[in-house]
Structure 1
Amino acid sequence: MKKLNFLLALGLALPFPGYTQAPPADADVVKKMADYVIAHAAFTFTGNNQTYATSKEIPVGVNATISDHLSAWHYPNGVLNIAMIDLGNYLKEEKYSAFAKKHVAFAFDNVTYFEALSKKGVKYKEFPFNQLIHTRVLDDCGAMGASLLDVYQTVKRADYRAYIDKAANHISKIQERLPDGTLCRPNPYKWTLWGDDLYMSVPFLARMGKLTGDNAYFDDAVAQIKHFTHYLWDPGAGLYVHYYYEDLQRQGVAHWGRANGWIMLAKVQLLNDLPANHPGRNEVIADLTQQILGVARYQSASGLFHQVLDRTDSYTETSCTAMFVYSIARAVNEGWLDKRYISIAEQAWNGLVREKITPDGQLKDVCIGTNTAADLTAYYNRPAELNDFHGWGPMIEAGIEIMRYRESKKK
């Protein structure tokens, strides 16, 4: 009896096999991530071991850089800004929306200093706001431009509108395209079609259509989805390849997770703003459904998705998993997808919370920025880092849509 009592007492202190703690509330998880972002975005400059609050404080001759990646002007920052605005609107907590407004204002209030240096020929590693000053490819303006359009809904600065119009002109009239109108890049080979670029263009075009009422933007966005599917969809795998080389007329080798995530995200962001009576709307929904059903075949037992989606010996990757969670859950929440498919998103979200978020809200296993590669090993070996800024926006958006779905079930 004494031995039994001892074992029972031990059982109170140690979990039984198969026992798991109740998962934290979704809102607590998402807020912890967003609060971590707010706490670690300094919106300052660093040079000569000194910190400067504004560009006006930087001494002549000091090569100052932006103090942290969260304060920089790069496409992942645009994804994050959109997510923070969405979180602020959903939770009705202004501090999250204010983050995006502060981020954009930090850039526009300081860019003229670096623009003047650039005109003098001054260039150095991590030159601040280089993509804001020089727009060459869609990475430079698409995602940040989309986030600026969201900020512009409440902050009507003339310099913001000027940049929005500049980005619209670049995407619609300057950025390279294939003869059929498909957006492409001049590198690494002429002309290269990147799956990433569907996100770097379509969300901006959709928002521009909503802002201006010009259906040409919506028409172009719908056409891009059709074109990218034509060039990048692999029907045998039910997945997208990362890229297409026009000079070889050949698809890439890898079904890279985040490229598939960018493509799925772009379709959802278009549907958010595409008019209900647009003739291409049902086609976009069908395309999105096809992709969701395709990627669902590659979900791991943990709920997570792999860096190379159809290669289970590649690591499970956070950002692509989050993109799929957001897209699938939003499609269910908006009625574009039958609700039985929510289980894909819920299991993926549960895996993210369980394995990829630290107790203080940091993100694990986010693949760093990735170029195209002819060999599959390049994708296998691409580093996954703690808090790489490609993960923040998708993770927050994923949490919002999971919260929406689970809250709707309570009603």
Structure 2
Amino acid sequence: MKRDYRFIYLFVVGVFVMTSTITAQDYFSNFPVRANPKTVGKKVSSRLMETKHQLYGDRGIHYAEVCTWYGALRFAEMTNDQELIKKLRERFELLFHLEKDLLPPPIHVDQNMFGCLPLKLYRMTKDERYKELGLPYADTQWILPEKANDEERKWHKKGYSWQTRLWIDDMYMITIVQAEAYHVTGDKKYINRAAKEMVLYLDEIQRENGLFYHAPDVPFYWGRGDGWMAVGMTELLFNLPENDPNRQRILKGYRLMMENLKKYVNEDGLWNQLIDEKDCWTETSGSAMFTYAMIQGVKNGWLDKDEYGPIARRAWLGLCNYLDDNNDLMEVCIGTGKKNSHQYYLDRPRITGDYHGQAPIIWCAYALLSE
């Protein structure tokens, strides 16, 4: 009988250990109701339909709204939410006639990224109008305008986009429209352009600690700015062919950044407005971008799941704590140009419901739901 009891005991212990191991590895499921990615993603995506366009004055729809709209489309596609897709298309349909004046002119890296939106819609619907509208935004990033300045001509001559600035914001804006053009046309020139551009930025402005100054002449690790680099590398790794010659360089830069971001997680499980300053305030838009990058890294095998899975899970739960009753993300840094002033970044106003924050929390939701 003693042997039988010992066998039963060992069997029960073994089952417990196996179950505990499986649960510990399953970092992206079994969320509390308030943090269910399908629910959160639907609510924040639907919130877009309740808000007005964000504009650049007379320069068309703002890139932050484009990022949110694009994220909502990817979420709706991921969840096969046909009603949401219909509403998102209806919002866009006005840009073909009544709101045509709101189309951004392709004159700046921020305006050109608008093209990712119609190109994504083309991939979902095969409506040629979207393709005809979207492709010129990708193409004109590499077509030098007649009134280009010397700096723009220099980069163009070297085979880079004339919109190159070495600002860290750029590498999501360029990547996302070129990646969509690649998928729409099947022409590798688009994704190769984006990869070459990313390697330039990594070589020129990534620091030894894996992070990035806002610009070469602005030596501060601004959260959302670094977030743009994180999601830009993530989208490239997600879209680049495995045998692309630039892939390993980008993966190296991505992993270096993720490794160092671990050191700066704050008590909320998130990151600060100035990443490396412990006394700074929690900023949610950059935090959401880092979370998205880590979720995709774990899901796609670029990062060790047991090392980064718990960090990404905690960050997602932390972000959901910053959603208010209107499904607006709080503590989002206002739109920010570069300035060589430490106090400037500390004093940036914090707002609620800004598209800079709405977009990446939707990205996180569909990343969590992906296979």
Which residue in 1 is equivalent to 2:77? 89
How far off its partner does 1:25 sit?
A: 4.4
Q: TM-score, normalised on structure 2?
A: 0.81
CA RMSD of aligned residues (A): 2.4
Paired with 2:63 and 2:128, the residues of 1 have a C-alpha distance of 22
1:343 to 282, 298, 310: 310
- Equivalent residues in 2 for 1:75-224 (5 A)? 75-112=63-100, 114=101, 129=102, 132-142=103-113, 144-174=114-144, 176=152, 178=155, 180-183=158-161, 192-224=165-197
**Structure 1 pair 35/158, CA: closer, same or farther in 2 (3 Å)?**
closer
Paired with 2:194 and 2:185, the residues of 1 have a C-alpha distance of 14
1:27-79 CA-to-partner distances (Å, cap 9, x unmatched) read: 323322223233x13xxxxxxxxxxxxxxxxxxxxxxxxx5439x72211221
Structure 1 residue runs of 5 or longer lacking an equivalent are 1-20, 42-66, 115-128, 186-190, 245-250
Paired with 1:192 and 1:278, the residues of 2 have a C-alpha distance of 24
Paired with 1:272 and 1:98, the residues of 2 have a C-alpha distance of 26
* 1:74 has 2:87 as partner: no
Paired with 2:358 and 2:261, the residues of 1 have a C-alpha distance of 22
**Structure 1 pair 253/403, CA: closer, same or farther in 2 (3 Å)?**
same
How far off its partner does 1:392 sit?
A: 1.1
1:136-155 CA-to-partner distances (Å, cap 9, x unmatched) read: 1010111x211221111133
Paired with 1:157 and 1:22, the residues of 2 have a C-alpha distance of 39
How far off its partner does 1:269 sit?
A: 1.3
- Equivalent residues in 2 for 1:178-327 (5 A)? 178=155, 180-183=158-161, 192-235=165-208, 237-244=209-216, 251-327=217-293
Q: Return the letter of the residue paired with 2:316.
A: W
Q: Return the letter of the residue paired with 2:262.
A: A
Paired with 2:165 and 2:81, the residues of 1 have a C-alpha distance of 42
- Contact 2:199 2:246 survives alignment (8 Å): no
How far off its partner does 1:241 sit?
A: 0.7
Paired with 2:224 and 2:77, the residues of 1 have a C-alpha distance of 26
Paired with 1:346 and 1:265, the residues of 2 have a C-alpha distance of 17
In proportion to residue count, which structure has more strand? Answer: 1
**Structure 1 pair 268/192, CA: closer, same or farther in 2 (3 Å)?**
closer
Which residue in 2 is equivalent to 1:32? 43
1:235-292 CA-to-partner distances (Å, cap 9, x unmatched) read: 1x43111113xxxxxx322111111111111111122221223222232222211111
In proportion to residue count, which structure has more helix? Answer: 2
- Mean Cα displacement is larger for which, 87-96 or 171-180? 171-180
Which residue in 2 is equivalent to 1:52? none
Q: TM-score, normalised on structure 1?
A: 0.74
Paired residues in the alignment total 328
How far off its partner does 1:197 sit?
A: 0.7
**Structure 1 pair 97/285, CA: closer, same or farther in 2 (3 Å)?**
farther
DSSP 3-state at the match of 2:166? strand
Paired with 1:162 and 1:148, the residues of 2 have a C-alpha distance of 9
Structure 2 residue runs of 5 or longer lacking an equivalent are 1-30, 146-151
How far off its partner does 1:389 sit?
A: 1.3
- Contact 2:179 2:191 survives alignment (8 Å): yes
Paired with 1:276 and 1:193, the residues of 2 have a C-alpha distance of 26
**Structure 1 pair 109/402, CA: closer, same or farther in 2 (3 Å)?**
same
